[in-house]
Each structure stands twice: as structure tokens, then as C-alpha cells.
Amino acid sequence: MFKINTRLLKNIDFVFVINVIAILAVGIMILPSASASVTSNPLYFVKKQLIAILIGCIVMVFTASINYRYIRRFVRHLYILNILMLITVLVIGTEINGAKSWIKLGPLALQPSELSKIIMIVCFADFLDKRQGKLKRLRDFIPCFLFFAIPLMLIMLQPDMGSGLVFVAIMLGMMLVGGANLKLLSGLVGGGFIAGVASIWAHFKFGMPLPLKYHQIMRLIAFINPYADGEGGRGAGYHIIQSKVAIGSGGLTGKGLFKGSQVQLNFLPEHHTDFIFSVIGEELGFIGGALLLLLFLSLIYRAVQIALNAKDMFGVLIVIGFSSMIVFHVLVNVGMTIGLMPVVGIPLPFVSYGGSAMLANMTALGLILNINMRRKKIPF
Amino acid sequence: MENSRNKLKKTLTIYMAITVIIFLSLLSKLFFLQVVSAHAYKTLSDDNRIRMVAKDARRGDILDRNGNRLATSKPVFAISITNLGSKNQDEVINRLVKIMDMPEVTPEVIKEKMKRHFRLYEPVEIVKLPWSAEALQVITKIEERRRDLPGVIIQEVPRRYYPYGSLAGHILGYVGKISKDELEKYKQYGYGMNDIIGKRGIERSAELREISNQVVGLRGKKGVTQMEVNAYNHPVRKLVEIPPTPGYNVELTLDINMQRAMENAMNEIIAEIKEKNPKAGAGGAVVLDVNTGAILAMASKPDIDPNDFVNGKYEEKIDYYHKMKPGPWWNRALQEEYPPGSTFKMITGIAALEFAGIDPETKITCTGQYWKPPYIKCWDVHGKVDYYKAVAVSCNTYFQYVGEKVGIENIVKVARQFGLGQKTGARDIDSESKGLLPTPEWKSEVRSNSVNQKYEKKRQNLEKKYNELKAQAQTAEELERLEKQEENELRALEARYKIDYKFATEWHPFNTYNTSIGQGSNQYTVLQLANYIATFANGGKRWKPYLIKRIVSPDGQIVKEYQPELVQTVEISQDTLDITKRGMEAVTSPGGTAYYLFKNFPENIKVAAKTGTAQTGRAGDDPESDFHGIFVAFAPADNPEIAFAGVIEYGEHGGSSAGKVAKAIFEEYFNLQEQKFSQKDANATQ
């Protein structure tokens, strides 16, 4: 059962694989430059990232080799394991940047919420598959929401708003493909969006209380006008301003690796993690940035093709869950660096520095390849 | 199954469409930032990282005519610290404080300075050390421990220094921080907020001049270093460095040795006089080159020391500068007007010889006062005096007589030709006063206003009084009576006004008498008097006084040589001038009022002079005992080179006060003091 059937390997979509490798390569290429002003050893972060990729490859081979349908037997266990893991981080986790999202194991710091996303994709795929054709009315939606409610609540307790939103995005993407009533779903998304905007407006206009701290609210709305962050662009708007200046000043062709003044002189903070796209924008220009976005788009397209040819709905939903996660990460991450989205701390998949996300993504990649290999036979 | 496949395909198409829309919006925003607005963001990015740090230029020196440095810039060690943002900044500060070991330098002081410093990329100046043995020791110690003191910088910065202290202080002026108005005025020359600019004297007038489309002057051009800084405003590297260009040197017509001789003599004499009259303490004097108008020496007492304004002593000496009376603020050679007293008599004399046909040999009799009212007194009973004796003994009676004969119009005509009562137009100096030459027109204009005002007020009071009375009148008869009374009083007032007006505004004979002897309303600056004497001495050429001889570039090239400028040639016959000169020579001859001053001068250096003693005309002064001492002279009499004019306030007699200053000047100029010195030396060795 762990042996990979060589016949199955022929089924692998190599364009998809090359696409992933290309994105990883961009990440590895930009990382020394992005971390040059953070550490004196330019290869320090690259080394760690490469190790994460290497371990990720091993995990990927593992997840690709077992038939994904066996996993369905363990979804209950996985779901409980996920919740236990999220409780553990709340109890023994380490707080970094105001969020208790990390578990320290010696020199390693793991971020359980990254793995949690993958587990939720698998579990929810199973959950939805069993309810196929039964997502017509609002009350059919409620079990889905409840299914996500507990882990989402635990994530928000850290608090990790970024991951929480990723959960919502995954859920919506999967529900859409899972056959949910389109009108109802888009009505809910639109309504939720309007409710969110209205409550923030009411908060400022009438002092309506919100379960968010002032700086969290400012981070959410500062992208609209970063100079009006209450501190003349030195508060919540600072990141956005500096990131836009970095990307904008990169122009068409960029300033060249290691030559972006915004990055190398530290005007832009956190540029090797959440704001790595600003480094790409400044040093590689519009050509580099657009190329990376097109690589991601192509990746999603291939994933959708894989989903289309999956053997069963469980496989389809896993692939869509994963691709929804990637799309949302790219949208929010790139969006915040160019002032299109609120500043929500989520990384750029395969590119931002961070081992946990890399491992989780590689695991998911393994699953997709798994589904890809075991696709339905195409009748000739 | 096939049915659900199709449905899946449909939803996945929708899914893909949403994804494409998301990516397209990201791409278009990216395109907008990086292609459409790239230029604007590039500018913002450069604003972030590039800072300009200005480096001050060395100011040009001011030299006297012989190349002595009167104002220069001395290197001062500025010890500064750059905020490197390192964690052991505090340690570095503590070490530095320990090494420097100065009571005013404490860690708290340094930290406070760093906190108040906004431009973090610029070093924060901790202290300025003037060049001294102790300073060198501190510098050496810091250099030795350079490695323990990252960010500590020692820079040599120029600071203005006036080696001669208060000598010529009023002429040189001083520099100071630029004011808001100056900043506005000199906007096009690129001054900055913290710049130093000449505030007064030569420092101000030679700050910058446009000569053949080139800006030259004491001020140099600042250098600029373009620095790249990081997000914490700490310097990363130099991008461009333009070194500063030093300022131009300015050579004056002044002779510092004469200036010293003049000021020493003034100090000595003023101190003596102050013992007798506490109101004394002030004076002004000028020496001109009679053939060019070049100012060789010019002094005002009490003096100012320009160093006080650059090294911070000014604050300590604020009482000296602003509370003491008489104060040092004004330049008394330029900005104070003094009655000329008898030094004016040559004007009257020249007018009389030239226009009234007075024969210098004709004698009149002085009985101690003029024979016409108001019988203005003479110093003495001079008996029979001719023109020469009249000048020599300064006979008031004689000059009142000839003044009356020639008339005020002619006196004014001559005085004007010699530049009295007008600005000399001197270049390179601070603003000068105009003085006052009294004329009938002037009197009528000035007095008519005051008389009119006085009577207008009286008339109004009268009307007011009667209006009140009339309002209280009970009967028609009473009202009529009051009206008649008012009319009478008004008529009487009108009559009085006419008499008063006539008297006050008309020029009376006694006005001429007073003017003839330099009293009355005559008021001139010392510079005007000096220029009048210089004009007289050189045979009638009135030059425009000036102070700057030339401007020399930092590499020694003369960029501008100033030429003497002729204002006017007086239209007086040579005979008249010669006769009057003989009179002035008689002043220093036996029997003359200044004989005792120059009797030891060699034959070939004959001094022509005139003493003056003038009522101060100041409120609160006693016209019988408070006199300014005035003295004018030139030498050598037969071939004049230099002219002198000086006023010692409350000096009582011109000869014994300002005359002594003239003596010191001539001794210095003609090298006559050697004998005195050698004698002194001989005494010392014995």
C-alpha cells in the first residue's frame, strides 16, 4: 500500500509540478536579498527554508503514496486531533507578536494553525461529500458552519485573524464546489461583507462596541487611506505606505536583487515573511511580480483541472479546499502589500519564509498529487 | 454520474472565473503602482533614503591695508556623536564623558541633546573646544580610544575670531545667526535656517557682492554631502560629496596701527575726562586719506568687541552693551550728530573771503562780545584781530562780523560744497546720519509747523471754554456779551500768533551769528567733519569715503579693486583756500589755540588744525559748563596727506581732548613716536 505504482506516476500532471517548483525557486531566489538586512549571514534563512522544503518533500512523497481514500477512515480522529492540537497551543504555546500561535520544541517553532488548515480541508471534504445534493437551504448550511465553528473559535482565541479568515475562505470555496445553492452562498458572503463594513462604520460613527482592539480595527481599515491612521502614516498605515513605495519604486524592471533601498535599508519591516512580495516588487519590478502572480494563477488552473478529473467528490473537494486556500493567501498577502486588502498577517504560500506553512503546503501538495495519480480513467 | 460531472464542470468554471477576477484585480493594481505611478513612488523612495548634510564654508578674512588679519576663522574642535542606534550607546557616552572630564559634559546632557536632535543622520554636537593645549589633550585621548567610541566624531569647524579684540570693532562688525528677515531677503543666495551671516560693519557690507555677475564676498559656498540613510535615519554611506568653497578675503583701507594709536589715545583721554565729568565716556574720530577719501582709521567709544558676539560673552556683558550710559551700541563717528563749534569757522571765513570781499588783513576789534544783540560772547578780549589771528585764536566776534557781512545764503552755499549737512555717501559702512545745516528755508519749515500746532490748540481751548459758558447763559444779553468777549479774545490770539509766527519762522540776524561760529542748530557727523577737512586740505576735491580696498579670491586673485570716487569739486578760488590754510597753520603756531600740541613736531611736518568747543545742546546739560571737545586737522600742511576729525564728549576744550587724539595719530603716521619710546627704554634700563 505504500508502494507507488509506477503506472500511477505516469498520471502525474508535470506542468503542475513544474509550476510549484518555479514558485519555490522564486522564493529561494528572493530570500537571501529579503533577509540580508535581517541577518548578517545571507544564507541563514535560505538554509532553513531549504531544509523545510526537503522535509516537506519527504512528507509529500508519503502523503502521495497512500491512497487518499484510506484517509477517510481516520477523519474523525483527525478532527479530534486537530482540536486537541489547537487547545494545546492555547495552553503551552508561545506568544509572538501578540498571538499565541507557536509551539516551541527545542530550536523548532511550529505553527499548528498551518497544519490545521490541511486537516480541516480533508475532514470537511469528507463531511461535504456525505451531504452532496443537500445544500439547498440555509438550514442545510448550518451543520457546515458548526463543523468549522470549534476550530475557528480556537484559532480566534490565539488570536490569529488571518488563519481564521483562511478557514472561512476554504469553507466557502469547498461549499461552492460541493454544490451549495449559489444564490444563497453569494448572498451570505455579500451580506457578511456588508455587515462587517457596516459594523466598523457604526463603531466609529456611534461607538458601537466590537470584539476587536483599536489597533486591530485600524489594521483592517488603514489600507483605504494609510495616511489617515491617526498617526499621520506612522501607525497602522506605515507598513502599507512603505510597501507601496517599495513596489511602486521598483517600476517595470525593478532595482535588482539586493538593491531595493526600501528593503535593504529597513524602511519596510517584516519583508522576509509576510511582506516578501514587496521585495519581489521592488527588486524584480512589475515583470517579476506579475510573473509570480501568473505562476500562481497557472497553478490554480492546473489544480482545477486535477479536481475536474478526480475519481470522486472527496478528491475534488480536497483539491478545491487546497486551491481555495492558495487563492485566498495570494489575494490577501499580495493585496495588502499593494494596498488593496487590509493588513492581515498571512504568508505567501511557497515563498514567504516559514517552516510550518511550507510543511503544511507540501503535505497538501502530496495529497493533490495523490488524487491526481488516482484520477478517473479517461475513456479513449 | 455523467450528469453530475457536467454540473461539477459548471461550478468549477464559476470557481475558476472568480479566481481569474481576483488575479486580474491584483495584476491591474500592481500595474498601476509599478508602471503608471512608478515615478512618483521612486521619488518617495529616494526621499526616504537620501539626506543632505551641509558643511559650512570657511568665511573669508578681513585684512587691513598692510595685510594684518583683523577678522579670521579659527579652527574649533567640535566633538560630536552619531546616533548609531546600537545597544551599547550608553556605554559609549559614559566612556566619552569620562575621557573628556569636563564638568559641563555629563551623560544626561548628551542624552538630552540627542533626544532633541531630529535629524538622526547628522552627528549631534556635544561641545566645541577652542584650540588649546588642554583641548589637544582631550582630542588625543579620544583618538587613542577610537575603537571604544564608535560614532564619536571630531571635526574641525571654523569659528570667527577677531585677533585685535575691540580695535576697530564698530568697523568690522560681527557675525551671527541669520534672522527671519535676512533669510527672506537673501533667499536667492541659498541661505539656510542655521546659517551665520554678517550682522554689522564690514562683516555685513562685504557678506556678498555681485561683481560682474559673480557673487563674491566673505561668505563662502557651503559644501554638501548626500548621505544614504536607513529606516532609523542612521547613515549607511556617502553618495555624493561636494566640498565647501571658502569665502573671499576683503582688504580694507584701514591701518590697524593708526587705529590702535587713535583708540589708545581716546581711551586715555576719555578716562581722564570722565574723572571730572561723569557724563563723559564717549567719542568718535575719523582719519581720511585726503587724496582718495579712503578711511584710514575710524573709532567710536565706548567700543564693542566683536568676539563677544561669536563666543557667547555677549550674554555676560549685556549690561555693558545695553544698560551702560553712554553706551557702545552706536558708531559715534557715523551715527551721532555733534555741533561743530569753532571748527565751522573756516566755512564762514571762506564764504566771507570769496563772496564778501573781506580783506584778510583788515582788522576789527574784539571787546569780548559782538556789538550787536544778543551780544554773543567771545572767549577772550582779543583786541585787534585780522583773519589769520581770528582763526588762530578762534575769535567769535570776528566771525560773527564777517558772517553777517557775507550773509547766511553764502555760508550755506560753501558749507554744502564741503558736504556738511548731507550724507557723505561713504561705501562699506553702516548707515550714517545726515546731520543738519541750518538755513532760512529749514527754519521756516520746521518752526511754522510747531507754531501752527501750538496756536491751533490754543484756539480750540478758547472755543471750548466759550461754548460751555454760552450754554450756561441765562439771558440773550448775557449771550451777546459772551459772544463779543469771545471775538475779542480770538482776535488777540490771532495777533499774538502773527507775531510769534514771524519771529519763530523768520531767519534773524542772531541766527546768522550763531551759525557763523558753529553753534545754533549746526549738527554734523564726525565723518562729515573729516571729509570737509580732507576736501579743504586737498584743494577742493570732495571724495566719497570708503573702507574696502579690494576683494581677493581664496586663491589670491584680485576680483575687485575699488577706486576713489569723486563727488564734487568745490568752486572756491585757490587764494581763499590758501589764506584760510594759513589761518589753520596759525592755530598750531605760537599764540594759536593748538600750539602746545604740536610744538615738538619737526619743521617739515607742519600741522594745520582748528579747535572747537561746542555747547552740547543736550537736554539737562549746562550750557555754561558742558562742552564737547572737537578737533579737526590735516598734515603736512604744505602737502596734505591725511585729515583728522574727532569729538570727545564733554571734553570741554577741543585741543586738550580730541586734539591729543590727533596728535597721537600724526605721531603714528609720521613715525614721530620713536624718540619717545627710546627715551622710555633708556629710563627703564637706568
What pLDDT does B245 receive? 87
The SS3 call for residue B203 is: helix
Residue A143 inside a domain? The answer is yes
Q: Cell numbers 505516469 correspond to what residue?
A: A10
Residue A380 inside a domain? The answer is no
Q: Cell numbers 572747537 correspond to what residue?
A: B612
Dmax (CA) for chain A in angstroms is 66
From the CA of B34, how many Å to the nearest CA of chain A? Answer: 4
Q: pTM for this one?
A: 0.67
Residue A199 sits in which domain range?
Answer: 6-373
**Whole-number CA gyration radius for chain A:** 21
How far is it, in rounded angstroms, from Cα B471 to Cα B275?
Answer: 64
Residue A378 inside a domain? The answer is no
- Phi then psi dihedrals of residue B27, to 5 deg: -65, -40
Residues of chain B with pLDDT under 50: 677-686
Chain B neighbors of A267, CB-CB under 8 A: 48-49, 230-231
**Residue B439 CA to chain centroid, in angstroms?**
29
Closest CA to B648 of B607, B608, B597, B614: B614
Residue-wise pLDDT for A322-347, tens only, equals 999 999 999 999 999 999 999 888 99
What pLDDT does B119 receive? 65
Does a cis peptide bond (omega within 30 degrees of 0) precede residue A159?
yes
From the CA of A165, how many Å to the nearest CA of chain B? Answer: 16
Task: Quickly count: other Cβ atoms within 10 Å of residue B493's Cβ.
Answer: 15
The SS3 call for residue A301 is: helix
Q: How is residue A129 written as a grid cell?
A: 461529500
DSSP annotation of B540:
S
What pLDDT does A198 receive? 92
Q: Which residues of B139-151 are buried (b: 16+ CB within 10 A; e: fewer)?
A: beebeeeeeebeb
For B83, counting Cβ atoms within 10 Å of its Cβ (0-12 exposed, 13-18 middle, 19+ buried), the class is buried
Residue A169 inside a domain? The answer is yes
Scanning every residue of chain B, which has its alpha carbon at the shortest distance from the alpha carbon of A305?
A: B12
Q: Which residues contact B631 (CB under 8 A, 6 or more apart)?
A: B343, B594, B609, B610, B611, B612, B644, B645, B646, B654, B655, B657, B658, B659, B661, B662
DSSP annotation of B344:
G
How far is it, in rounded angstroms, from Cα B631 to Cα A116?
Answer: 106
Chain B neighbors of A307, CB-CB under 8 A: 12
Q: Cell numbers 543736550 correspond to what residue?
A: B618
Residue A295 inside a domain? The answer is yes
| B28 inside 8 A of chain A by CB | no
Closest CA to B405 of B543, B512, B555, B255: B512
What pLDDT does B675 receive? 53
From the CA of A242, how many Å to the nearest CA of chain B? Answer: 8
What does the pLDDT average to over A185-202? 92
From the CA of B97, how many Å to the nearest CA of chain A? Answer: 31
State the pLDDT confidence band at A319, using cuts at 50, 70 and 90: very high
In this structure, are residues A43 and A348 in contact, taking their beta carbons and an 8 Å threshold? no
- Given an 8 Å threshold on Cβ–Cβ distance, is A248 in contact with B42? yes
Decide if pLDDT at A145 tops 90: yes
Residue A230 inside a domain? The answer is yes
State the pLDDT confidence band at A36, using cuts at 50, 70 and 90: confident
Three-state SS across A134-197?
A: CCCCHHHHHHHHHHHHHHHHHHHHCCCHHHHHHHHHHHHHHHHHCCCCHHHHHHHHHHHHHHHH
Q: How is residue B61 written as a grid cell?
A: 578674512
Three-state SS across B599-641?
A: CCCCCCCCCEEEEEEEECCCCCCCCCCCEEEEEEEEECCCCCC
How far is it, in rounded angstroms, from Cα A60 to Cα A55?
Answer: 8
In this structure, are residues B265 and B669 in contact, taking their beta carbons and an 8 Å threshold? no
How far is it, in rounded angstroms, from Cα B393 to Cα B330?
Answer: 33
Per the rule left: phi > 0, alpha: psi between -120 and 50, beta: everything else, B451 is alpha
**Whole-number CA gyration radius for chain B:** 37
- Given an 8 Å threshold on Cβ–Cβ distance, is B15 in contact with A304? yes
- Given an 8 Å threshold on Cβ–Cβ distance, is A249 in contact with B30? no
Measured distance between the N- and C-terminal CA atoms of chain B, rounded to whole angstroms = 138
**How many domains are contained in chain A?**
1
Residue from A258, A261, A292 whose CB has the most chain B CBs within 10 Å, to mutate: A261
3-state DSSP percent of chain A in helix, strand and coil, to 5: 65, 5, 30
3-state DSSP percent of chain B in helix, strand and coil, to 5: 45, 20, 35
What pLDDT does B682 receive? 43
Does a cis peptide bond (omega within 30 degrees of 0) precede residue A347?
no
How far is it, in rounded angstroms, from Cα B541 to Cα B290?
Answer: 9
Decide if pLDDT at A7 tops 80: no
Angle at B73 between CA B70 and CA B76, to 5 degrees: 140
DSSP annotation of B432:
-
Among the partner residues A182, A245, A286, nearest to B44 by beta-carbon distance: A245
Task: Quickly count: other Cβ atoms within 10 Å of residue B98's Cβ.
Answer: 12
Q: Which residues contact A17 (CB under 8 A, 6 or more apart)?
A: A369
Looking at the DSSP bridge assignments, the partners of residue B124 are: B81
List own/partner pairs for A188-192 with CB under 8 A and 24 or more apart. A188/A141
Does a cis peptide bond (omega within 30 degrees of 0) precede residue B278?
no
Q: How is residue B184 written as a grid cell?
A: 527672506
What pLDDT does B265 receive? 96
- Given an 8 Å threshold on Cβ–Cβ distance, is A262 in contact with B45? yes
- What ipTM is given for this predicted complex? 0.95
The SS3 call for residue B65 is: coil
Q: How is residue B15 written as a grid cell?
A: 470557481
**Residue B382 CA to chain centroid, in angstroms?**
42
In this structure, are residues B229 and B49 in contact, taking their beta carbons and an 8 Å threshold? yes
Sign of the torsion angle spanned by Cα atoms A352, A354, A357, A359: positive
Task: Quickly count: other Cβ atoms within 10 Å of residue A150's Cβ.
Answer: 14
Dmax (CA) for chain B in angstroms is 152
Amino acid at A25: A
Q: How many pairs of residues across A and B have Cβ atoms under 8 Å apart?
A: 131
